[in-house]
Chain A
Amino acid sequence: MLTPETRDKILTEVERYPQRRTAVLPALKHAQAQIGWLPPEAIGEVADLVGVSHAAANELATFYSMLRTRPGGRTRVEVCLQLPCALAGAERLLGALAEGLGIRPGEATTDGAIELIGTPECFGACHRAPMCRVNDDYREHLTPEATCALIEELTADRRRTTDGRRPRARHSPSSLVGRPARAEGA
């Protein structure tokens, strides 16, 4: 299921390192970049290309948090909830994004466009808290204004990529309007 381009990239990785097994992790990332996640067939194909057992590739695919063994949203919005961000209102940020996007944390929109995730992992942006990652981009200093703008942006992107189906997301979540609130799920 891997394209010739992806297979070439993987074979280049195999050449790059003193031992081929080192290439398994970068190879899995190339496969995921093409497909969006790592179905069992793709993991097997990567293993065959690198020359390791399927189990050897599978044990990496199921370990790392950036590798995904089930499909999710095309755009991943990942909010850090670890202590420094929590001290700056990360749970409110997550709540506002959930409300604005019309989904709950851990869910994807029904069209598969956007997935919202709250995570205890720290991304090294504690001085610019609260923050989230939108795919690989860091979005930092997420003030209520910046959060509203981010929701607008995500919703506009989604409208562009979804065939005519208008999302029902509200753009100015009521949770941003100064009501003392503590998001659930701490």
Chain B
Amino acid sequence: MIDYKPILLPHPGRTTPVSLEEYRQKGGYRGWEKALREMSPDDVIEEVKASGLRGRGGAGFPCGAKWGFVPRIEGPKYLCCNADESEPGTFKDREIMEIEPHMLLEGVAIASYAIGANDAFIYIRGEYVTAADGLEAAIEEATRAGLFGADALGKGFDLRIHVFRGAGAYICGEETALLESLEGRRPMPRSRPPFPAVEGLYRRPTAVNNVETLANVPLILANGSAWYQTIGVPPRNTGPKIFCLSGRVKRPGNYELPLGSVTFRELIDQYGGGTSTGAPVKGVLPAGASAPIITADRLDTRLDYDSVQEAGSMLGSASLIVLDETVCIVRAAALMEEFFRHESCGKCTPCREGTGWLHDILVRLEGGRGSESDLELLMSLSGEISGKVLCALGDFATSPVTATVRGFRDEYLQHLELGRCPYPDWGSGAGSWELGDGGWQTGAHRG
């Protein structure tokens, strides 16, 4: 294990939120005070640009550059924090919001100042009730202390932070769908351009940033971009990253580490305690259901944006779902495709219809029915969706299919040869469904 002290989630195992007082004792809101008292909005943007911070929601777009796109014009501008965390395997923003609400709020405040927004919205998925309640309490606490509200810190900047609760729709994590949802319309993605920076919420200039991205910002302001650059692999992969580890590992959970400091194998073995069944790793989904699977031969890839991309996938939100050798890859793909079928908003025909067809074909193949030509059908159908839709959901929806057909073609064929799934009880092997160690699988259960 590497020598690193977490800074975004410094309290492993904690279940109660850090109060304003506790946060301030540890230097909280120093970045916000510095921004308001000593820096112009442009200074803030330059500092964040210099840090190299890239978006932690999935796309990895440079945060400072995004703020720089917001035009310096009169009239309302908005900051939207994307807290609609719904990617399968992702639970990092939830922990930040439940435990460190003030860290996020400080980031929201600094970002709002940088782009000149007096209203900020935290769009949080409707199921995260605990986190939303905690954020509302923290906003009240900080407003009472004069940190937000009218004339924040006596520096003439007005800031209202609103918590807006969603109602169960993965598509709201797509930034233009999020804006539509906030406007009270069906959350269907917009055609771009114009981009949100120019025409966002209520058709006004808007920046949309993920929770974890904004949680990094106070540290950059308080300690400087030069300090931030010492974490990770500068210049393109700087800072800490929370890796959500789930699936067949002994110790699933959030692990905060510098970008590029460990490989898939090291994270799984040293932090996750290895696979829960003891069987070798078959593959890892690096970004939930949305990025191509990393096969076992690529586990020595470093966990940073560029390395994972070179390995043919995407770091995305860094939600690693570990599959061991006893897991049926076709069934895993079918489950993920069912998710996209369920969550497609229905605006673009290729995605609306195609995700359902892909799912039906995968279910057929998993049951050992269908034919070899179904594999070509899966690939050609995927080609008819990817790149032919308004948003990334359609593209993402094809990766569980194309990457598994390419990487595990023999396993697909094995289903057809046997006329059934070779992993009849979800691959856990004989006896492993038995009740042991209080868990569903032998010795597999999580502490």
Binding site for B on A (CB under 8 A): 16-19, 21-26, 28-29, 52, 56, 59-60, 63-67, 81-84, 86-89, 91-93, 119-130, 133, 136, 138, 141, 143-145, 176-182, 186
Partner of B435, one of A22, A26, A59, A176: A176
Query: With an 8 A cutoff between CB atoms, is B246 at the interface?
Result: yes
Interface string of B404-446 (1 = CB under 8 A from A): 0000000000000000000011100011011100111100111
In contact, B245 and A124 (Cβ under 8 angstroms): no
In contact, A122 and B88 (Cβ under 8 angstroms): yes
Known: A63-B345, A127-B252, A186-B363. 19 other contacts (CB 8 A): A19-B202, A29-B165, A56-B184, A64-B166, A65-B168, A66-B166, A66-B168, A82-B289, A82-B336, A83-B89, A84-B88, A84-B89, A84-B252, A87-B248, A87-B321, A89-B441, A122-B88, A126-B246, A180-B431
Binding site for A on B (CB under 8 A): 76, 85-91, 93-94, 119, 125-130, 162, 164-170, 181-187, 202, 244-248, 252-254, 285, 288-289, 319, 321, 323, 327, 331-332, 334-336, 338-339, 341-343, 345, 363, 366, 424-426, 430-431, 433-435, 438-441, 444-446
B364 nearest CB across to chain A (Å): 12
* CB-CB nearest in chain B for A129: B246
In contact, B338 and A87 (Cβ under 8 angstroms): no
Q: What separation, in Å, do the CA atoms of A34 and B108 have in the docked complex?
A: 33
Find chain A residues with CB under 8 A from B86 CB. Answer: 121-122, 124
Find chain B residues with CB under 8 A from A88 CB. Answer: 440-441, 444-446
In contact, B88 and A67 (Cβ under 8 angstroms): no
Find chain B residues with CB under 8 A from A178 CB. Answer: 433-435
In contact, A121 and B438 (Cβ under 8 angstroms): no
- Given A66-B126, A177-B435, A186-B331, are A21 and B336 also a contact pair (CB < 8 Å)? no
In contact, B167 and A67 (Cβ under 8 angstroms): yes
Q: What separation, in Å, do the CA atoms of A125 and B424 have in the docked complex?
A: 26
Find chain A residues with CB under 8 A from B336 CB. Answer: 82-83
In contact, B169 and A126 (Cβ under 8 angstroms): no
In contact, B186 and A59 (Cβ under 8 angstroms): yes
Find chain B residues with CB under 8 A from A182 CB. Answer: 424-426
In contact, A89 and B88 (Cβ under 8 angstroms): no
Closest 10 CB pairs of A and B: A89-B440, A21-B184, A64-B167, A65-B168, A126-B246, A66-B168, A127-B252, A178-B434, A122-B88, A84-B246
B58 nearest CB across to chain A (Å): 14
In contact, B185 and A18 (Cβ under 8 angstroms): no
- Given A26-B165, A181-B433, are A18 and B91 also a contact pair (CB < 8 Å)? no
- Given A25-B181, A87-B327, are A128 and B446 also a contact pair (CB < 8 Å)? yes
Q: What separation, in Å, do the CA atoms of A18 and B127 have in the docked complex?
A: 25
- Given A89-B433, A141-B446, are A123 and B440 also a contact pair (CB < 8 Å)? no
Tally A-B pairs: CB < 8 A: 186
Partner of A83, one of B93, B335, B438: B335
Partner of B91, one of A59, A64, A127: A127
Partner of A86, one of B90, B91, B426: B426
Q: What separation, in Å, do the CA atoms of A66 and B343 have in the docked complex?
A: 13
Residue from B86, B91, B202 having most chain A Cβ neighbours under 10 A? B91
Q: List 30 A-B contacts (CB under 8 A).
A: A16-B162, A17-B162, A18-B202, A19-B184, A19-B202, A21-B185, A28-B167, A29-B167, A60-B184, A63-B169, A63-B186, A64-B126, A82-B289, A83-B89, A83-B247, A87-B321, A87-B426, A120-B335, A125-B91, A126-B88, A126-B252, A127-B91, A127-B446, A130-B440, A133-B127, A136-B127, A136-B129, A141-B445, A179-B433, A186-B331
In contact, B91 and A126 (Cβ under 8 angstroms): yes
- Given A83-B336, A86-B335, A88-B441, are A124 and B128 also a contact pair (CB < 8 Å)? yes
In contact, A126 and B89 (Cβ under 8 angstroms): yes
A111 nearest CB across to chain B (Å): 26
Find chain A residues with CB under 8 A from B185 CB. Answer: 21, 56, 59-60
Find chain A residues with CB under 8 A from B331 CB. Answer: 186
A185 nearest CB across to chain B (Å): 10
A143 nearest CB across to chain B (Å): 5
Q: What separation, in Å, do the CA atoms of A65 and B130 have in the docked complex?
A: 19
B254 nearest CB across to chain A (Å): 7
In contact, A143 and B246 (Cβ under 8 angstroms): no
Find chain A residues with CB under 8 A from B334 CB. Answer: 186
In contact, A120 and B342 (Cβ under 8 angstroms): yes
Q: What separation, in Å, do the CA atoms of A26 and B123 have in the docked complex?
A: 12
In contact, B184 and A25 (Cβ under 8 angstroms): yes
A145 nearest CB across to chain B (Å): 6
